Structure 1
Amino acid sequence: MSDFNPLNYLNLYSNPTTVKEYIEQLHADQLYKRWDTFIKRWRHLDEMTTIFEILYFIDVSQPVGWDLFYNTTSYLSVRVNVGQFVWATGTLFSTKFFGLLSPPVFYDTLPQLYTRKEVIRSMNRLPEPPPPPAGHVDVYDEPAYWIQDASLDYTHHQLMGRYFAERRSNNLGDIEPISLSDDFLLRKGFEPVRLNYDLGEYPTRGPNMSLKPQEGFQILRDSETRLLEAIQNGYAINGNREAVPLHNNPESFASDISGNDMFGAIVESSTSSINIDYYGSIHGDLHGNIADIIDPRYPQEFPMPGVQDHQEVNLPDPTFYQIHLYIDNLHRRHKYASPQIRSEKELVVSGVQLRSLKLQRKGTLGWNIWPWTPKVQVLTTYFEDVTRDVSNAVVDCNRLSQGEIFQTKVQQLNYHEFDYKLEIWSGHMGVENFIARIFMAPYLGADGKPSSEDDLHWSMFEMDKFPFVLKPGLNRLTRPSGRSLVCVGHEDQKLRRACGWPRHLLLPKGTADGLAMKLFVLVSPAQAGQNGGAVYTVDNEMNFPALSLCGHPWEKYPDDKPMGYPFDKKIHFDPPFAAGLIGLTNYGFYDSHDENKMHSRDQKPNFL
């Protein structure tokens, strides 16, 4: 309907006042322009939220509602700010249409944000821009396959665990977290490798820059001081100046989850923060301050802030990982401040034994993993060439109409799929619902020495979490790696969603000689989730795609344990790594190697 105008159909909307005000502002040219840079700051977010609310509250249960939704979406798609529209509709797919429709992936919708700028410029026959004022910067050492992976989004702790595994895979050292001390410098500069929505250049940040001259620096310091005080005191201060405990003594799973939710809300400064005026928004403000570091009174010097204000393009910047290491360390201090240290006694399920674990690559016999076995399980990764359509970044539509094909090839990390094969003995009398939790982490630190127990536990990243039925006697289970509940939903799941870890990045790259890894498996009874959540079972597993990292938009989390359990807080095993207990209890650490094949399936693999 080319002449469609929402103002002519206000009686069909559930929120006509919102629709009327927004469309009138759009017609009056009072909103951000179509190709303006989308910055996740208040006005941009308010406009994006309005787009979302207009579409979300349309009743599509009847044909007239679906027609209204279709026409409204079409109308907005060619008029409103592109970034706002993409983020609003992406949120719509994960809520209103959760499980029913899969949204178009961002790198197909806006390939200029996920493709090297040289490719986009060449494709559009654009001239080379002048050198940046700060000069060309090329000092970052992040692995190219990692920073160029367009499907990589982030869930902070999981991302940092995997990031350090990739650094170990490439013989790179540790990094320095952001510091708010007077003498701290961002030693690495960054010249962005991608373009903006309108194919413009993001500004380059030179090396050795200080946060101190920033107007918001003291606000950051105040937030840090108050967060550290909350951790030390064990309570946060709400808007009524009341102390709200972050931990209980003794700590239950419920209080642990509640306290962590509260702490996360004040760090992220979500609407759930109990005192946003006091604790501020340290995570968002760090990104914003570093984005503005070359233009402290933005937008005086540059038409857009630096990449740290743009979630789509900030992963290649080494400072991104310094920010998130800082935030992750805050989270660790909070979790380790719990008055209760977790121990192996908390994990034990009497009468249940994880007798053996075998990792079997597809088409192979596999190996049993025992600490006294000379053969260590080997998992393999490889690189593959992937072709991506970048036609949405073409400026000249005539070239598209003439049938020209615009594609680019990128090298992507992948892995050879394998099965977890578990043998579990149950001395219990009845049939029970159980959950298996699988984690992995590099065993050696950047110095080549074994990591401390605390550091290895904290660096554990989740590989899978799945329900199974435990019967009396010996149980043999096979779990394909491709069905991991950490990853984006599997193709045979009836519910569709785009959230989750990229399936091809399930394993870190590893090295040609083998990256030593520790694999941990825990099996324990499935319990009802907190606050009325369901029991996670084989019967409802398909209703929770990508559960481990994404939860569910309207269902309670179907697990009574905190996310990341049992490594979400300080835990002590006696003896370390449960040595000598393999096969005798319901959990165990196992040795594995990750090896990588450098280019294709036909070449010698690298090993994990």
Structure 2
Amino acid sequence: MKCLVVIVLFSSVWAWPSDFSEYDGPSFAQRQQDINRLLYKVDDILQFAELKEVADNFDPEADLSSYSDGGEAVKHLLTELRDHRLLKKHHWFSLFNKRQREEALILFDVFMHCKTWQATINNAAFFRERMNEGEFVYAIYAALVHTDLGRGIVLPPLYEVTPHLFANSEVIHKAYTAQMTRTPGKFQMEFTGSKKNPEQRVAYFGEDIGLNTHHVTWHLDFPFWWDDIYGYHLDRKGELFFWAHHQLTVRFDIERLSNHLNFVDELYWDKPIREGFAPHTAYRYGGEFPARPDNVEFTDVTGLVRVRDMIIYESRIRDAIALGYITAADGSHINIRDEHGIDHLGNIIESSAYSPNLEYYGALHNEAHILLGRQGDPKGKFKLQPGVMEHFETATRDPAFFRLHKHIDNIFKEHKDTLPPYTKEQLEFTGVVLDEIVVNGPLETYFEDFEFSLINAVDHNPEFGEVDVSAVVKRLNHKPFNLNIEITNENVDNKHAVVRVYLCPTTDANGVELSLEKARWNCIELDKFWTKLIPGSNSISRASSEASTTVPDTPSFKSLIAAVDEAVDAGTEVHLEEFDRGCGIPNRLLLPKGREEGLGMILIVGVTDAEEDALHEVLEDAEAHSHAQCGVHGEKYPDHLPMGFPLDRRIDDPRIFMSCTNYKKTHVTVTHIGNF
């Protein structure tokens, strides 16, 4: 059995990023320990005496000077608390529930206005004991992502903080039995469904806990409710919404291709939802996630979403694409027939607070999640809890997630296809020749056992302590490989360049060969990185572990606690910079599964001019983790070209594309080792 092993380096010096170098407060190790302890057994009372004392005795209104807003947010939250208007503890929480989201964001607002770390922790301890657990976890995670005080903090893996949202109810029940009988246990977790269901072949992807975590952390980095009053603009947020979800859909399609399944079909509001789904997952409080049988017709969700509104909103969006402009709330027109149009379109489709006309274009994506999540009980007759589609942590488990996003992705493609193909001048990088690309090492995948803790899933009696309980699940991984690239810079001076790497299918599931035009929209972005080209020959070697689309596994909660506690006790620091970004595809999912007999694919590499890009030094030193689909916190998106360039627009004549000396393609084979 392979478990996550984390090597942690200790040092007496902690180096903050340069723009936060004047930080004056507790050490990093101390702050990380505070967060660990606040999130440990979050459904129980605080387990640590110092924080418990703060929770019992702290008065959030005693010193309003500790808040940058004069305490307005904390006074608002305390008024809601005293008036008994907040969601009770031990109740399910969904970000798609308007009132529950409002409550979580009031607490987020409090954290964002805390001037010091101590004020943050005092308020966190106080409200942790008084607010709904789900609202608290969401608020603290979102705040740590977006506040300067949280910079560098490693967010403990959500699948160990709130394991009910990631583990099947069968293993949760076994963990409870083990706790009651005081018998430690490791329990094999199976994927949902049976072999009678073709979707079972790709359940390992949609139910991968690392992929689930990427989905929720992306939406933490780019929340649809974000307001720029919190200090900065989320640059190209709408385009990032398109690109990150496009890549999820593409990866799902290639996993289907690996398993001899056709690319996923989009759903339609006026047709049945062909695939049902039984989550085999339960809320910690509130019962099982509702199931959905096959071939359910879309039905209005009473008081929340009407099917006809979805059709109307989509029609208005498609009209905007056909007309080439969006109508803003003030009646003005916003052109979308340029490289910025995709950003505006993403904002109205999601819909985010950045939408220029929320009333007119609605919230197609967000309300579709609610609509799909409630089809098991659309009238509320049985008072069922929200479905898996109403949580970012669980949404990708449902095959309907990918059918929905294929539908949305096709709307984006409709827009992209209205734009003219790139010209040779736009594609070229004058004086730069990509001579050779060589993959060093086999492109081989395999399944491994992964173990994660269920301790936070079960209650325990302090008198008897707790026992080790964990789940073991199969997960996809790949052998390490390197991409070696030879580039000649025929210019007389250095050139800043960005290298773009795509992995594209060659055929569909029936073996029908795909043209470059048909394949381009189904290409996986493997990597994108910046480099400096000196005059003459340049040899570049890029390891698969360096891919800017991915992140490494976060340390387990147990190992994170142990490493940080040791550093605090010793008065030293702990270096966890490698894990300070949660957003990103797990590196082990960089490659699709492939086939035992081998899945033939095309590797396309391009080298483009990066002179207009920002953050050269940061990106060339690979300090910005997973920036390709997650951007750089608080900064402008570093690539001035459209995401997916040059495969984002139609290719009417592939000869133009491949005649450019700065692009090259080669055939590769992805092979899966072993059975599953």
Kept in 2: contact 1:308–1:320 (CA 8 A):
yes
TM-score, normalising length from structure 1? 0.85
How far is the alpha carbon of 1:214 from its aligned partner? 4.9
- Alignment of 1:288 with 2:398, yes or no, is no
How far is the alpha carbon of 1:455 from its aligned partner? 2.6
- SS for the counterpart of 1:478 is strand
Partner Cα separation in structure 2 for residue 555 and residue 19 of structure 1? 29
Given candidates 584, 590, 610, the residue that maps to 1:506 is 590
Moved more, 289-298 or 163-172: 289-298
How far is the alpha carbon of 1:446 from its aligned partner? 1.8
Structure 2 residues not aligned, in runs of 5+:
1-53, 181-192, 216-243, 554-574
Q: Specify whether residues 494 and 209 from structure 1 end up closer, same or farther in structure 2 by C-alpha distance, changes over 3 A only.
A: closer
- Amino acid of the residue matched to residue 593 of structure 1? T
Structure 1 residues not aligned, in runs of 5+:
61-65, 128-134, 248-254, 362-377, 601-608
Spell out the pairing of 1:141-290 with structure 2 (5 A cutoff): 141-152=200-211, 153-154=214-215, 155-181=244-270, 184-198=271-285, 200-214=287-301, 216-247=306-337, 255-256=338-339, 258-290=340-372
User: Deviations along 1:514-538, whole A, 9 cap, x unmatched?
Assistant: 1111111001221334xxxx25346
- Alignment of 1:112 with 2:164, yes or no, is yes
- Amino acid of the residue matched to residue 283 of structure 1? H
- Alignment of 1:125 with 2:177, yes or no, is yes
How far is the alpha carbon of 1:354 from its aligned partner? 1.0
Given candidates 462, 472, 496, the residue that maps to 2:580 is 496
- Amino acid of the residue matched to residue 42 of structure 1? K
- Alignment of 1:87 with 2:142, yes or no, is no
User: Deviations along 1:256-298, whole A, 9 cap, x unmatched?
Assistant: 1x21111111101111111111111111111111222232233
Given candidates 498, 517, 532, the residue that maps to 2:601 is 517
TM-score, normalising length from structure 2? 0.77
- SS for the counterpart of 1:589 is strand
Given candidates 76, 86, 90, the residue that maps to 1:21 is 76
User: Deviations along 1:348-374, whole A, 9 cap, x unmatched?
Assistant: 22321111111112xxxxxxxxxxxxx
Spell out the pairing of 1:378-393 with structure 2 (5 A cutoff): 378-393=442-457
Partner Cα separation in structure 1 for residue 322 and residue 203 of structure 2? 40
Partner Cα separation in structure 2 for residue 6 and residue 596 of structure 1? 56
Given candidates 559, 566, 588, the residue that maps to 2:664 is 588
- Alignment of 1:46 with 2:102, yes or no, is yes
Moved more, 313-322 or 562-571: 562-571
Where does residue 3 of structure 1 map in the other structure? 57
- Amino acid of the residue matched to residue 51 of structure 1? L
How far is the alpha carbon of 1:101 from its aligned partner? 1.2
Kept in 2: contact 1:489–1:496 (CA 8 A):
no
Partner Cα separation in structure 2 for residue 487 and residue 586 of structure 1? 25
How far is the alpha carbon of 1:328 from its aligned partner? 0.6
Partner Cα separation in structure 2 for residue 210 and residue 561 of structure 1? 41
Q: Specify whether residues 420 and 118 from structure 1 end up closer, same or farther in structure 2 by C-alpha distance, changes over 3 A only.
A: same
How far is the alpha carbon of 1:188 from its aligned partner? 1.6
Spell out the pairing of 1:297-336 with structure 2 (5 A cutoff): 297-298=379-380, 300-336=381-417
Kept in 2: contact 1:99–1:494 (CA 8 A):
no
How far is the alpha carbon of 1:344 from its aligned partner? 4.7
Kept in 2: contact 1:33–1:81 (CA 8 A):
yes
Partner Cα separation in structure 2 for residue 485 and residue 501 of structure 1? 9
Where does residue 77 of structure 1 map in the other structure? 128
User: Deviations along 1:82-136, whole A, 9 cap, x unmatched?
Assistant: 2222222222222214651111111111111111111001211399xxxxxxx99
Moved more, 341-350 or 317-326: 341-350
Partner Cα separation in structure 1 for residue 473 and residue 510 of structure 2? 32
Partner Cα separation in structure 1 for residue 398 and residue 104 of structure 2? 26
Kept in 2: contact 1:493–1:542 (CA 8 A):
no
Partner Cα separation in structure 1 for residue 576 and residue 500 of structure 2? 22
Partner Cα separation in structure 1 for residue 317 and residue 201 of structure 2? 30
Partner Cα separation in structure 1 for residue 657 and residue 255 of structure 2? 23
How far is the alpha carbon of 1:413 from its aligned partner? 0.7
Q: Specify whether residues 468 and 489 from structure 1 end up closer, same or farther in structure 2 by C-alpha distance, changes over 3 A only.
A: farther
User: Deviations along 1:443-462, whole A, 9 cap, x unmatched?
Assistant: 11122111233331011121
Where does residue 369 of structure 1 map in the other structure? none
Partner Cα separation in structure 2 for residue 175 and residue 234 of structure 1? 29
Larger relative helix fraction: 2
Kept in 2: contact 1:436–1:468 (CA 8 A):
yes
Where does residue 35 of structure 2 map in the other structure? none
Where does residue 374 of structure 1 map in the other structure? none
Q: Specify whether residues 144 and 322 from structure 1 end up closer, same or farther in structure 2 by C-alpha distance, changes over 3 A only.
A: closer
Spell out the pairing of 1:289-438 with structure 2 (5 A cutoff): 289-298=371-380, 300-338=381-419, 340-361=420-441, 378-398=442-462, 402-438=465-501
Alpha-carbon RMSD across the aligned residues, in angstroms, is 2.5
Q: Specify whether residues 198 and 210 from structure 1 end up closer, same or farther in structure 2 by C-alpha distance, changes over 3 A only.
A: same
